[in-house]
Amino acid sequence: MANFETIEVTTDLLILGGGMAACGAAVEAAYWAKKNNVKVTLVDKAAMDRSGAVAMGLSAINQYVGLKDGKNTLKDYVDYVRNDLMGITREDLVANIARHVDSTVHLFEKWGLPIWKDEKGNYVHEGRWQLMINGESYKVVVAEAAKNALGMENIYERIFIVGPLMDGNRVAGAVGFSVRENKFYVFKAKAVIAAMGGAVHVFKPRSSGEGLGRAWYPPWNSGSSAYFTIKAGAEMTCQEVRFIPVRFKDAYGPVGAWFLLFKSRATNAFGEEYMVTRKTELDNWVPYGHVKPIPANLRNWLGMMDVMEGKGPIYMRTEEAIKKLSEAEPDEKLRKKKLKDLESEAWEDFLDMTISQAILWAGTNVAPEEKPSEIAAAEPYFIGSHSGASGAWVSGPEDLAPPEYFWGYPNMSTVQGLFCAGDASGASSHKFSSGSHAEGRICGKAAVKFCVDNADQPKIDAGTIEKLKAGILKPIDLYEENKKGSSDPDINPNYIKPKAFMFRLQKIMDEYAGGVSSQFKTSKPLLEKGLELLGFLKEDSEKLAAENLHELMRCWENVHRMWQAESHVRTVMFREETRWPGYYYRADLPKMDEKNWKCFANCLWNPATGEWKMIKREIIPMYKEAGDYELLGG
């Protein structure tokens, strides 16, 4: 076995991740831990200042409810989420986050995040739930508070967590390795919070070749949350609900400013506006098709229909928008100045968020005032905190959850002591950055309570740890044993390198599970074939080889992705309808079946038998069904 020193750390509460949810868990857990003499340890794959999806910064906070000022009610937010997810939402979880999120935002402000306010102290809203911020250091501000709360002596950075340690149905910690030095880490804990993000690059991305690695969601989020919870034996939910954002094609530049500020139109190649010409299609998806705002997946779907009919490319008509805005100025001299200003704003829209899009414009001779730019639906992502919903099936809070949704501790999965937040917990989407932090806080408090109530340290035998260590380091051993078997270290009859493995996974998912090249369409026969190929891939994962520590991380990232992929394929196959046509389309079952499938589709992998089980769970609403008022967005 590769010569790695084993470092053992024993703690009470172990927080896995360094993003917004983990930082929320850290500050809250630190507070309750001090009162209860509980030790809290956090492990991050990267460095907390810039880890997680918020690493690059944001220009808005997307979830702020404004309860204190009477701006909205909890029901308003629940209605918004339920409608956008076509009725499939754990209302208790959404409401629990919504009632805590404002205080999280107030904490951000207290810690130094500039949130725009008018001269009277009112937040400047970009949308009903959106607050404008100067957010280039958003993550740094939030991480600093978490680090101060926990103390750096309790934080382990640059350690990649591979999987769980278990004591029967109770989580007992986690194992992983340093991505900087030859050290194998064993973290023993009474409770664990999984907050390691969602998954990217499970599907083949639009960006390939020289653009490989570019994505809308951070490429380092590789499905570790899903792998960890599935392998622990936790019941998972909404694994079929992937998210597909529409972005400027190939560099994933944001489209929002063009719609909102420039009032740009999106048209097909023939100048037809699909949101107008396809409007009657929304009648096929009632009641959700008549909701305002129109659910994100249905907006996608109308554009996809044009593409499938060969009416692409789809264009953002930047030239038209800029011309219209500049021509509103009657004075010729001022008009020229205004045109220059608009050009600057157009470039700045990318330069402050997605620089690569500006580079692509430059590289393809695009002047936005002269010609339109292509927009496209991106490849699918697994992101329970945004407009997807995948993640673990977790307990709701005692005062909001029905008995069927409550098992003692808020946000605890079906595994004892394993809590989930952010992208790791399912069926409660539209948390975004602030809601993920709030959910982390909910987890932090609940997990400390679990540690107090379950003061015994779970049992793990040394043999199990040695077996896990050997398995995790196996890719390095395999490489060393076989590296002389060929003249090219990347091609060898006895092993597969992680990059080639990732390509195989992405090809399977793209072609059989409804990726970009199959126009997001799939069917039962395609899914069955895909599952068969995933089975071969799983066999071959035993032959993953790593030349160094970095590749060892890549090996395990791809194993994590593979498990996310399998749970997705199985759940899409289980849900015998098409409910989110702009995310995926079951060509063999093209209609929504509200009677049979307005339910949660859950899955469970049994660690003892290695078998999967599919489960239907009832949707138990907290509020009455949305009436006309709510459907109009009230």
Partner 1 sequence: MNERNSNLTPACAPPVQSAAEGIYACPHCGAAMRKWTTPAGSSWGESVQYVCFNDECPYYARGWNWMQSQYNVRASYRHRYDPLTGESGPVPVWSEDALKSHIAAE
Which residues form the interface with partner 1 (CB under 8 A)? Answer: 67-76, 80, 114, 116-120, 122-130, 132, 134, 255-256, 259-261, 263, 275, 292-294, 299, 324-325, 328, 338, 341, 345, 632-634
Least Cβ distance, residue 90 to partner 1 (angstroms): 17
Distance of CA 136 to the CA centre of its chain: 20
Specify the residue for token string 């998210």: 243
Task: Enter the tokens of residue 19.
Answer: 């993003």
Specify the residue for token string 């990649």: 160
The answer to whether 32 and 26 are in contact (CB under 8 A) is no
End-to-end CA distance of the chain: 62
Contacts for 234 with CB less than 8 Å, ≥ 6 apart: 392, 393, 413, 414, 415, 418, 420, 604
Relative orientation angle of helices 91-111 and 138-150, to the nearest 10 degrees: 90
Is 433 catalytic? The answer is yes
Question: For residues 492 and 483, what is the distance between their CA atoms, to the nearest angstrom?
Answer: 8
The answer to whether 233 and 170 are in contact (CB under 8 A) is no
Is 158 catalytic? The answer is no
Is 207 catalytic? The answer is no
Distance of CA 103 to the CA centre of its chain: 23
Question: For residues 345 and 266, what is the distance between their CA atoms, to the nearest angstrom?
Answer: 19
Pick the catalytic residue: 82, 170, 386, 560? 386
Q: Give the long-range contacts of residues 270-273, CB within 8 A, separation 24 or more.
A: 270/311, 272/306, 272/311
Question: For residues 42 and 40, what is the distance between their CA atoms, to the nearest angstrom?
Answer: 7
Question: Which CB, 45 or 82, lies closer to partner 1?
Answer: 82
The answer to whether 522 and 590 are in contact (CB under 8 A) is no
The answer to whether 561 and 505 are in contact (CB under 8 A) is yes
Least Cβ distance, residue 585 to partner 1 (angstroms): 21
How big is the chain by its Cα radius of gyration, in Å?
A: 24
Reply yes or no: is the peptide bond before residue 293 cis, omega within 30 of 0: yes
Is 216 catalytic? The answer is yes
- Count CB-CB contacts under 10 A for residue 409: 24
The sign of the dihedral angle between the CA atoms of 394, 397, 402, 408 is positive
Q: Please list the residues that pair with 192 across neighbouring strands.
A: 14, 418
Contacts for 462 with CB less than 8 Å, ≥ 6 apart: none
What's the one-letter identity of residue 17? G
Instruction: Give the pairing type, strands 58-61 and 391-392.
Output: unpaired
- Count CB-CB contacts under 10 A for residue 17: 33
Task: Enter the tokens of residue 563.
Answer: 């498990």
Task: Enter the tokens of residue 380.
Answer: 């699918």
Is 361 catalytic? The answer is no
Least Cβ distance, residue 262 to partner 1 (angstroms): 8
The answer to whether 301 and 517 are in contact (CB under 8 A) is no
Task: Enter the tokens of residue 314.
Answer: 């789809």
Is 247 catalytic? The answer is yes
Pick the catalytic residue: 201, 247, 554, 570? 247
Question: Which CB, 354 or 541, lies closer to partner 1?
Answer: 354
Q: Give the long-range contacts of residues 302-309, CB within 8 A, separation 24 or more.
A: 302/274, 302/275, 302/278, 302/582, 303/246, 303/266, 303/274, 303/377, 304/377, 304/519, 304/520, 304/581, 304/582, 305/274, 305/278, 305/281, 306/268, 306/272, 306/274, 306/278, 307/268, 307/519, 308/519
User: What does the CA dihedral 113, 115, 120, 122 come to, rounded to 10 degrees?
Assistant: -130
Distance of CA 508 to the CA centre of its chain: 21
Pick the catalytic residue: 12, 240, 306, 349? 349
Question: For residues 55 and 86, what is the distance between their CA atoms, to the nearest angstrom?
Answer: 30
Is 62 catalytic? The answer is yes
Active-site positions read 62, 126, 216, 247, 349, 386, 433
